Structure 1
Amino acid sequence: MRWTVDRTVLDLPRWGSVVEDPGPTPWVVVDVEDTPIEPVRRYLVEFTARGNRAGSVRSYAYALLRWWRWLGVREVSWACVTSADVRDYALWLGAATKPGAALRTVSLATAGTVNPITRKAYLDDRYQPRTVRHAMAVLRGFYEFWADLGEGPVVNPVQPAHRGRANLHHNPMEPFRAEGRFRYNPVVPKRRPRTLSDEQWRDVFAALRSHRDRALLALGVSNGARAGELLGLRGVDIDWGEQLVRVIRKGTRAEQWLPASAEAFVWLRLYLADVGPLGPNEAIWRTVRRRDRGTGLAQQPLSYDALRAVFRRVNVALGTNWSMHDLRHTAALRMSRDSNLTLRDVQVILGHADIDTTASIYLFEEDAEVARRVLAHLEQRAAPTLKPPTLARGYNPADMAVLFDGSTP
């Protein structure tokens, strides 16, 4: 049955869920009877077999759960979807309100506004353009998988923005056309990285409550490692003599030793002295006073949600909305503006696969600096031009030109 009402006005039911699974894929999508949805399960098995991380599998599972809920309201079979259905879905994502586990309370007044200190926008309850693009990419891969098996729609309903093969008749005198963009992808606004000034970093550091938090954030601001990479540190990943830490890179899962500041290692030493001895393969970052199930207080590895709680406390105290990723941007911008480091050095430390990614994000002129130079230019233009005095009688203009380096008053 096709809709005859506005396709953007729709509330999806809380149908199905994403659960962990001991089988070949770490996550599966189940229906209201906790039965795995077979088309999704088979695709996630394939997706896992291609070497994707558990976090990526979980992200794809939630995107497909949302798609299945939408199809259920539309009363359209997943195997009969057309490009028009994908268009309507993209329109709905652009206008819908995300379901929340609980209503906003404290953040109700700030949702969708811009913080006056950090100049960062608070998230609202709408699906962001990147979420819509991710949803389109998930559906594209899902239907490609079933098309290869000869099932599902004959034509992939998620069509590319350009018909035919990209750059098929490319003119070598023109730049290559971007590939991989889908027809209903929204435009993602290009934003400059938000960084902390030295004064702002000192305020954040002063608001931290423990040596653990000081050590963790000092590492992040000194080498730009991602939060997940730092949270995975073990005892064997610390090289005290060379002042290095070993992380597992987010995308490639490759090991890489990163330098860190002497200050970060001082706070790390103080933190480990408080925690006590840890095994070489034990996680370094611990929550010391977390209540375990039925066994009282126990140490637990620090999770990403617990790290976010650290920033929530800091942000409440300072009236800001900083995040761990802002420390990565801060470290990258500091390194990119150091004349002793090349852009290639910054790329390696950040773990970017392409140096163009590093350049496109961090090589830019500060708005304040550009504005200062333009204001100086305008002031110079507005200054009255003084008419040079004429030569007194008896002076030779040619001699004056030699004296004043080619210019005569």
Structure 2
Amino acid sequence: MVVDPDGVAVEPIAEFLRDLAARCSSPGSVRSYAYALLRWWRWLHRVDVAWDRATVAEVRDLVLWLSQADKPRRTPRTRSASTVGRTNTVTGKPYLSDSYAPRTVRHSNAVIRAFYEFWIEQGEGPLVNPVVLARSRESGRTNAHHNPLRPFRGDGALRHNPKVPRQRPRALADEHWDALFTELRSDRDRAITSLAVSSAARAGELLGMRPIDLDWGDQRIRVVRKGSRAEQWLPASSESFVWLRLYMSGLGTPAADGPLWWTLRPYRRRGGPGMDRRIPGPAGAGLRPLTYPAMRAVLLRANRVLGTNHCWHDLRHTAALRMSRDEDLSIRDVQTVLGHAHITTTAGVYLVEDDDRVIARVAQHLASRDSRTHAPEPVPAQGYDAGALAILLGGDRR
């Protein structure tokens, strides 16, 4: 719920979010839209413009402000203050910065445009959507009078969208994966990381697993997809099931339809005198289900030792790139395992490799081709004439 400075719900935003939820949008999408509209509402309040009187100028000025402003933080940075906005020398990945990323600004523009499209359809709000399309100056309609000597322009691009930098590779090299796996402290951490790097499941999808979602015979796991909320079986490596067995042997007997991943130590809830109590877990151990912050802390501990900045989504990229390098798997197979609706997402986002590795493989390909080209001419077997074979076979008998 988005509220105004007086704590009253903003009715235009509330109505739009209700319509968004009625279109079977996930709770995460509704929450993301709510935060983007909260930022827009604060901006309109700051510049003293009513929401139904907003123009292109307010959208343009918001984009300019976001390009130089810092994101608000609940607590000041301590350990990460020295690395914010820089590039890790081991992985080559940039650290998160305090400024708004271009993708955040583009998402904000898309949300604001959808918000005003909804109210224009209802017959309220401004007559013209303040978030306009980047149409050609020659015509009000994209490619209406297309010049055949020029390429077609994409329809739907927003005028004030910033350019997105080139996608950088996020997959872990084999040596980095080995070092990361070595730094893990428990069988639970080894089991969940090996599942992530072999099944390409998201962190949230792994945390939602239950013991009944494990198929020990066929070595598969069942996850609930993030967007569609559909159940899907994914293959996993035999090594990950070995670590799963070791983890569950020390866990006890969890409920078949309960959480699979639990904390390693008992949790005590703090309160007043006599308020401390243990939360029931497997076999009454007083454990609680593993959360994403606790799961993220596993990688943070390893990153501090290794001097890296790996995250859980890097393991999904690693699994996708490993599968794409297998000649027996097609890109359609990779798309199915990743659960993407469009193959362009698989190829354009997850199969990005380091330029040095690509150049090395191409150089190796050219060297092997040259060696095949300069191979000695095979000698015909006894009783065959070389000239007759050249005429019959075209001169190339390899």
TM-score w.r.t. length of structure 2? 0.83
Does 2:206 correspond to 1:230? yes
Matched, 1:178 2:166: no
Deviates more, 1:47-56 or 1:297-306: 297-306
Query: 1:62 deviation in Å?
Result: 1.1
1:256-335 paired onto structure 2 within 5 Å: 256-289=232-265, 290-292=267-269, 294-298=275-279, 299-335=287-323
Residue number in structure 1 paired with 2:22? 49
Query: What is the rounded CA distance, in whole Å, between the counterparts of 1:220 and 1:117 in structure 2?
Result: 22
- The answer to whether the 8 Å contact 2:320/2:351 transfers is no
Go from structure 1 to structure 2 and tell me whether the alpha carbon gap of 1:340 and 1:372 turns closer, same or farther (over 3 Å shift). closer
Bigger share in strand: 1
Deviations 1:168-224 (A, max 9, x none): 566899865323321110011121322212221111111112221111110000021
Distance 2:320 2:144 in 1: 37
Equivalence for 1:338: 326
Which secondary structure state, in structure 1, belongs to the residue aligned with residue 15 of structure 2? Answer: helix
Q: Deviations over 1:84-105 (max 9, x none)?
A: 1100011111111111111111
Corresponding residue of 2:119 = 146
- 1:106 maps to 2:87: no
| Alignment coverage as a number of residue pairs | 356
The one-letter code matched in structure 2 to 1:75 is D
Taking structure 1 as reference, are residues 347 and 59 closer, same or farther at Cα in structure 2, changes over 3 Å only? same
Conserved in 2, the CA contact under 8 Å of 1:287 and 1:301?
yes
Displacement of 1:280 in angstroms is 2.0
Structure number with greater CO (CA < 8 Å, separation at least 6) is: 2
Aligned to 1:122: 95
**What is the deviation of 1:327?**
0.5
Report which stretch shifted further, 353-362 or 81-90.
353-362
Distance 1:376 1:348 in 2: 31
How far apart in 1 are the matches of 2:212 and 2:156? Answer: 40
Residue type matched to 1:247 in 2?
Answer: V
Question: Are the aligned partners of 2:169 and 2:354 in contact in 1 as well (CA < 8 Å)?
Answer: no
Structure 2 residue runs of 5 or longer lacking an equivalent are 280-286, 368-389
- 1:213 lines up with 2:195 in the alignment: no
The alpha carbon displacement at 1:29 in A equals 1.1
Contact conserved, 1:193 with 1:326, CA < 8 A, in 2?
A: no
Q: SS of the residue aligned with 1:183?
A: coil
Distance 1:329 1:374 in 2: 22
Partner of 1:18: none
Mapped to 1, the partners of 2:259 and 2:364 lie a distance apart of 54
Over the matched positions of the two proteins, sequence identity in percent amounts to 56
Give the 3 Å change call, closer, same or farther, for CA 168–241 of structure 1 in structure 2: farther
Q: Distance in 2 between matches of 1:370 and 1:277?
A: 48
Partners of 1:262 and 1:137 lie apart in 2 by 43
Q: How many angstroms does 1:161 deviate by?
A: 1.3
Alpha-carbon displacement from aligned partner over 1:369-397 (angstroms, at most 9, x marks no partner): 454478899x9xxxxxxxxxxxxxxxxxx
Which stretch shows the higher mean deviation, 109-118 or 192-201? Answer: 192-201
Matched, 1:245 2:248: no
Question: Alpha carbons of 1:274 and 1:100: their partners in 2 closer, same or farther (altered >3 Å)?
Answer: same
The alignment partner of 2:19 has SS state of helix
Q: Find the residue that maps to 1:300 and give its secondary structure.
A: coil
For 1:93 and 1:279, the matched residues in 2 are separated by: 48
1:263, distance to aligned residue in structure 2 (A): 0.8
Classify the secondary structure of the residue corresponding to 2:24: coil
Q: What one-letter code is carried by the residue in structure 1 that aligns with 2:212? A: V
Distance 2:191 2:148 in 1: 51
Following superposition, the deviation at residue 364 of structure 1 comes to 5.7
**Cα distance change of structure 1 residues 370 and 269 upon mapping to structure 2, 3 Å threshold:** closer
**Aligned residue type for 2:155:** E
Relative distance call for 1:330 and 1:302 in structure 2 (3 A) is: same
Q: Distance in 2 between matches of 1:170 and 1:233?
A: 52
Question: Once the 2 structures are TM-superposed, how far is the Cα of residue 324 of structure 1 from its aligned partner?
Answer: 0.6
TM superposition shift of 1:119: 0.4
What's the counterpart of residue 192 of structure 1? 168
Q: CA deviation at 1:110?
A: 0.3
> Residue 288 of structure 2 aligns to a residue in which SS?
strand
In the aligned structure 2, how far is the partner of 1:40 from the partner of 1:63? 11
The answer to whether the Cα contact below 8 Å between 1:336 and 1:362 also exists between their aligned partners in 2 is no
Gaps of 5+ in 1: 1-27, 380-401
Root mean square deviation of aligned Cα: 2.7
**CA distance in 2 between partners of 1:171 and 1:196 (Å):** 45
Partner of 1:383: none
Cα 1:97–1:364 change in 2 (3 A) is closer
8 Å contact 2:317–2:351 — kept in the other structure?
Answer: no
Q: Is the partner of 1:257 in helix, strand or coil?
A: strand
Distance in 1 between residues matched to 2:362 and 2:335, nearest whole Å: 31
SS in 2 for 1:29: coil
Query: Bigger CA drift: 174-183 or 210-219?
Result: 174-183
Are residues 314 and 372 of structure 1, via their aligned partners in 2, closer, same or farther at CA, if it must alter by over 3 Å?
same
1:8-30 Cα offsets, whole Å, 9 max, x none, are xxxxxxxxxxxxxxxxxxxx112
Question: Contact 1:207–1:314 (CA<8 Å) still a contact in 2?
Answer: yes
